Amino acid sequence: MGDMKHPLKFGLYLLMLGSLPAFPASAPTLQVSKSDEDILVTAGDSGRRGGRLQASLHSDPKTLNPVTAVDVPSKQIIGLLGADLIHINAYTQRTEPALAKSWKVSSGGTRYTLELRHSIQFSDGHPFDADDVVFSFKVYQDEKVHSPQRDLLEVGGKSIQVRKIGPYQVDFELPQAYAAAERLFDSVTILPRHLLERAYEEGKISQTWGTTTDPSQIAGLGPFRLKQYVPGQQIVLERNPFYWKADPSGNRLPYLDEIAFLIVPTEDAEVIRFQAGDVDVISRIGADNYATLEHVQRAKDYQLYDAGPGLEYNFLFFNLNDLSSKHLPDIGRKQEWFRRVEFRQAVSAAIDRESIVRLVYQGRATPLWDQVTPGNKLWMNADIPQPPRSLARAADLLRSAGFTRREDGVLVDAHGQPVEFSILTNPSNAQRTKIATIVQDDLAQLGMQVHIVPLEFQAVMARIFDSYDYEASILGLVSGDADPNPEINVWTSGGATHVWALSETHPTPAWQSEIDRLMQEQTTMLDYRQRKHAYDRAQELVAQFDPVICLVSPHVLVAAKNMVGGFKPAVMGDYVLWNADQLFRTDVAGRR
Amino acid sequence: MIKNPKLWLSAVALALIHLLVIGAGFFAPYDPTEQNRDLSMAPPMRIHFVDSRGHLNRPFVCPWVAEGQRTGPSGYVEDCSKVSALRLLVRRQPVRNGKTMLASLHLFGVDTPARIFLMGTDDYGRDLLSRLLYGGQTSLGAGLLAAGLSLSLGLLLGCVAGYFGSWTDDVIMRGAELFMALPWIYLLFAVRAFLPLHLGARQAFLLLIGVIGLTGWARPARLIRGVVLVARQRGYVLAARGFGASSASIVLRHILPEVSSVALTQAALLVPQYILAEVTFSFLGLGVGEPAPSWGNMLASLQTYSVLEGHWWMFASGLALVPIFLLFYWFADSLQGRLQVLGLSR
């Protein structure tokens, strides 16, 4: 798990910008485009051409194949090598045209007609057209290929029909109206048919474009193409001379000649190499290291950015799984407490979120009472109450649920059993363990005895997802997209990441049924305000009934050398390299 | 007694350290789990003798005041506008499970609401001095008890193997080799996986002692077996056997005294080794869990670069190990020298 420090990523949260590797044809480097080439002109200032940027990855990418990639480093690289039809701008969190320059939606919202860019080329110089799009979707939707994107391209359990209308026109027929359907295209990298069709027909598409593939065999529509990969050391990407974007002055993007990713296994090592000048940008720093960098910022040749809360939410949850098929009588007995809404509300009321923000994140986090963070500009419900910590209210709630305090201060339930439970954490995530220690002390003040059980990450996952042999745990989830649709997996019963109750007990509580209904309903609403209304209500229910107890959302903290121009960190996607095509070095002598 | 000052100095120093740790309840100013969230990562406080007007005063401390959100050395400044005098023999009422407990006597302290942190505080604003003293109970205690356990086992099995020889010897010594080949850390991982999820601090402590002690018997057993092998050929042992003494009485009366010097020196060597084992396990999160302190889990926060870089007082428990180890080795060294002298003169 190269990604142990990051919160668990779930299946649906792919955030690839699209992707396709390319090859070094002896391409012309002319700045002026051919007259019929559909170039996208970006807004904003112009930068300087040339130079190399050094970034880092925490582990080697497992593959460069957009069809099979699931790990974060692979997706990050593939995101720079390829492109998608409609793209979600990580900064505005809204969709924008990419390879599709425009699109029309039928009145019922089920048919999307996409107009593709004319006369643009893959990074090997081969022209791009509707056949590539149809081919790509055929591959992703093919059951035998087992692409993780396949589920994304299903609406209401049926797949989307793709049809070529003209050389630059493609029709997408949805089985039913689907809210924000254009966001579906964001994760789907367009593949070069001329390079991959044979492999696909031979049934070998999943094995192509591994990390040992010759760079000349890889082509895409992204701003960069693969130049060199030395496993365990670095990956070098070079500028794609055929890229389909230009700046307002008419210079073809990207500005940078190269981006090199050093493989640096830990965040601490990354910070040290950043200080040493080996790395120019860091895409995610923990609050501790941020403070350190801030403290030792002597040379002032770098800048730290606190981009505010991201889309990650950390939460405490109790095991509410149906344990009737498992032999876990002890946990079953404790579930009598966990299932009481008052019990969970009392725990929530007793937790000092402000202290977590201050002690664990040095103030660089935001307390949460529901799952949508303030980083989610379009979907946050600002009316969720944010009650301050109150032990008195917690004690009242517990009393109303039949809990009492013994002479020695220990909290006991109606049968006189002391309230005692354990929280699973993985020590590889220092922050989560610290949160657990604070929660432990907070709950001790209610007379609850909480044990912290550090287990290796895989063991924690196995207990949560398979054996259900745990009492409580703390996890963080991060959405790849700001839209509520991917969250369905988490909040509806039966969802793959409905972690606290993967097997729901019947009868389902009324509030859970309401969340299920709201989350399903909003997928077919086409009006943003209507959807927002439904999702606001779902957030209210989560805040009120505390199926999980939301704690904090850490801020997205990044750093960049002063010479990095066009730097604009976002709180979703690839925080610093989402606009890699517009990044430039202010210290190169290149043309402006 | 004066003949061997190194032996007695190290013995007295060790005794004092253990006394300090055993009496943590009295010597430590606070409960080791009490959090002061407004003073996380505060540096050690200075004891002042001279007040702002330059007059000599009875010792006092100035409280730390946080500057903004930052924690750590640059996040706090001394505020000497409200000083609190250092008092000896104070009574404090600890709070546990949200209830106030009976007052207890402490060696020193300051009047509440002021607080005194002579060694600074950790991430949660817990007094590091108190944690160091209470944590010593775990770490030093584990070392002593585990050494006692493995030495008793080693003594028993070593004597049996050496005295009876033949197949008994073979079985025990092959077993010892097996135990020496066991990777402790993985063994502990495995043992931990079979146990119920939450072990209380006491159970975790006993488990650690059990694992360290039970896996460590092989080395002393081999050493003792060697000594017994030599001893059982001695004239007085043969004579005793000739007079019809039982095996038990021969071992107890004639062989054990011969072995005792080796056993004592071994003990003095094993204790620091086992202290280190406890520290390692707790550092890895396999030993005593939060919030109970141990010198190992106190060091765990040094795994982060930021703490390593800017919070030097967090090294306290690691630094405490250095003199203790040195004292134990001196003690073992001089003990061996002394016992050899005694052995020769007999």
| CA–CA min distance B96, chain A (Å) | 8
Query: Chain B contact for A365, CB < 8 A?
Result: no
pLDDT at A15 over 70: no
Q: Which domain holds residue B190?
A: 129-345
Q: Is A469 on the interface with B (CB under 8 A)?
A: yes
Specify if B291 maps to a domain: yes
Question: Residue A17 pLDDT more than 50?
Answer: no
Number of domains in chain B: 1
For chains A and B, what is the number of CB pairs under 8 angstroms?
A: 106
pLDDT tens-digit readout, B99-135? 667 778 899 888 878 889 999 999 898 999 999 999 9
Instruction: Report yes or no: A473 at the B interface, CB cutoff 8 Å.
Output: no
* CB-CB contact of A358 with A310 (8 Å): no
Task: Mark yes or no for CB contact B124/A288 under 8 Å.
Answer: no
Which of A292, A436, A454 is opposite residue B305, by nearest beta carbon?
A: A292
User: Is the predicted pLDDT of residue A3 greater than 50, yes or no?
Assistant: no
Q: Tell me the pLDDT tens digit for each residue of A160-211.
A: 999 999 999 999 999 988 888 888 898 799 999 999 999 999 999 988 998 8
- Measured between its terminal Cα atoms, the distance across chain B in Å is 18
Please state the rounded mean pLDDT for residues B328-340: 85
A346 to A501, A545, B58, B256: CA distances (angstroms): 20, 11, 47, 62
Q: Which of A362, A438, A469 sits opposite B124 (nearest CB)?
A: A438
Chain B closest-CA separation from residue A21 CA (Å):
36
Write down the pLDDT at residue A35.
59
Q: How much is the pLDDT for B74? A: 60
Interface residue A409 vs chain B (CB under 8 A): yes
- Lowest-pLDDT choice from A257-266, A486-495, B185-194: B185-194
pLDDT bucket at B73, cuts 50 / 70 / 90: low
Chain B residues within an 8 Å CB radius of A362: 69-71
Average pLDDT over all residues of chain A: 87
B68-73: average pLDDT: 55
Whole-angstrom distance, CA of residue B69 vs CA of residue A528: 38
> Is B210 inside any structural domain?
yes
C-alpha A509/C-alpha A529 separation (Å) is 27
CB spacing of B37 vs A408 below 8 angstroms: no
B contacts of A471 (beta carbons < 8 Å): 197
- Using CA coordinates, name the residue in chain B closest to A330: B196
- Tens of pLDDT along A108-138? 888 999 999 999 999 999 999 999 999 999 9
CB contact under 8 A, B97 and A447: yes
CA B274 from chain center: how many Å?
8
* Predicted confidence (pLDDT) at residue B43 exceeds the cutoff of 70: yes
Q: Which site among A437, A443, A463 would you substitute to test the B interface, given the most B Cβ atoms closer than 10 Å to its Cβ? A: A437
What's the pLDDT at A24?
35
Subunit contact B200:A362, Cβ cutoff 8 A? no
- pLDDT band with cut points at 50, 70 and 90 for residue A504: confident
Within a domain: residue B227? yes
For residues B191, B197, B201, B203, the Cα torsion angle rounded to the nearest 10 degrees is: -50
Pairwise CA distance, residues A96 & A430, whole Å: 38
The domain that holds B264 is classified in CATH as 1.10.3720.10
Query: Across the interface, do A422 and B197 touch by the CB < 8 Å criterion?
Result: yes
Asked if A408 reaches chain B (Cβ–Cβ under 8 Å), the answer is yes
Closest CA of chain A from B159, distance in Å: 41
Q: Give residue A109's pLDDT.
A: 84
Sign of the four-CA dihedral A75, A81, A82, A88: positive
Residue B28 lies in a domain: no
What is the predicted pLDDT for the residue at A27? Answer: 37
Mean of pLDDT values over B69-75: 57
The verdict on residue B48 lying in a domain is no
The dihedrals phi and psi of A442, each to the nearest 5 degrees, come to -60, -45
Strands of A7-153 (E only): list them: 40-41, 52-57, 86-88, 95-97, 100-105, 111-116
Looking at the predicted structure, is the pLDDT value of residue A12 above 70?
no
Residue B97's pLDDT is what? 66
Ordered structural domains, chain A, with CATH: 43-307+563-585 (3.40.190.10), 312-554 (3.10.105.10)
The interface predicted TM-score of the complex, written ipTM, equals 0.81
On the question of pLDDT at B51 being above 90, the answer is no
pLDDT digits (tens, 9 = 90+) for A446-468: 999 998 888 888 888 889 998 89
Nearest CB to B306: which of A292, A352, A433? A292
Q: Do B290 and A452 touch (CB under 8 A)?
A: yes
> What are the tens digits of pLDDT across the range A19-65?
333 333 333 344 444 557 888 998 888 889 989 999 999 889 999 99
Contact status of A389 with chain B (Cβ, < 8 Å): no
Residue B80 within any structural domain of the chain: no
The answer, yes or no, to whether residue A516 has pLDDT greater than 60, is yes
Is some CB atom of chain B closer than 8 A to the CB atom of A362?
Answer: yes
Query: Which of A4-13, A379-388, B282-291 has the least mean pLDDT?
Result: A4-13
Q: What is the pLDDT of residue B216?
A: 87
